[in-house]
Structure 1
């Protein structure tokens, strides 16, 4: 008699460890290079992180898709991050909402002191 044991991995993509670099950097909102962040829905990418002005706060999410490493970009109309390579989508908490990405994106802590944002994690 032959017996086999099969182990199943969880189907919930968001139960996996989020992926992204470890960072610690600042952005000065008074700099013209960061002007996009002065309006709700504005975003920019820096140091491998997408930073988004949510209107009430700032969100910072890893820029590389967990599927094949393409750079994701923020879509203000969908309030989500989209991967152009295979249509992966992520919410602002880094969770996979559509497509083939196998894991969520890492999110970062954003603190504001005057016009300076510190992004770390």
Structure 2
């Protein structure tokens, strides 16, 4: 009977350690509710042609909306994962607009998917889902 309880206690301890270790592997950017609908035909978004981007309000520190082609978009959180606790934002690299950069830690991220291309960040930029029906673009998580 004592052995059974000891085994159960040890299994519980191991499971707890595994769960805690997995939490450390999560993107440090805080979760927030995002549910934005944009009329791409509105004057504000007229110049959002394939290969261009816009900064929009939403997410934790703002969202970078990138139009890959006529029907595909990416929506990336602007909070740098390496500097998340300070709320540091990434912005498009003025020398190469295919990348976003964090001026504080020097991490760089690919604009189409937020993947890290250099720097100390171990995590990509947080990405939000997009759904485009030809006129309205929905950004959500």
TM bucket by the smaller chain? Answer: 0.7 to 0.9
Number of residue pairs matched by the alignment: 106
| TM-score, normalization by structure 2 | 0.63
Gaps of 5+ in 1: 1-15
Structure 2 stretches of 5 or more lacking a match?
Answer: 1-24
- In 2, Cα distance between the equivalents of 1:61 and 1:25? 13
Instruction: State the SS of the aligned residue for 1:67.
Output: helix
What is the match of residue 126 of structure 2? Answer: 106
Over alpha carbons, which structure has the higher Rg?
2
How many angstroms apart in 2 are the aligned matches of 1:50 and 1:66?
15
Residue 11 of structure 1 aligns with which residue?
none
2:61 counterpart of 1:43? no
- 2: CA distance, partners of 1:64 / 1:36: 24
Instruction: Find the aligned partners of 2:53 and 2:102 in 1 and give their Cα distance.
Output: 15
Structure with higher strand content: 1
Check the 8 A contact 1:89/1:98 in 2, yes or no.
yes
> What is the root-mean-square deviation of aligned Cα atoms in Å?
2.3
CA contact (8 A) 1:30 1:115 kept: yes
Q: TM-score of the superposition, structure 1-length normalised?
A: 0.72
- Which has more helix, going by share of residues? 2
C-alpha contact (below 8 Å) 1:73/1:82 kept by paired residues: yes
Deviation by residue 1:44-95 (Cα, 9 ceiling, x = unmatched): 1221211101125111111111122322123483522222223211123222
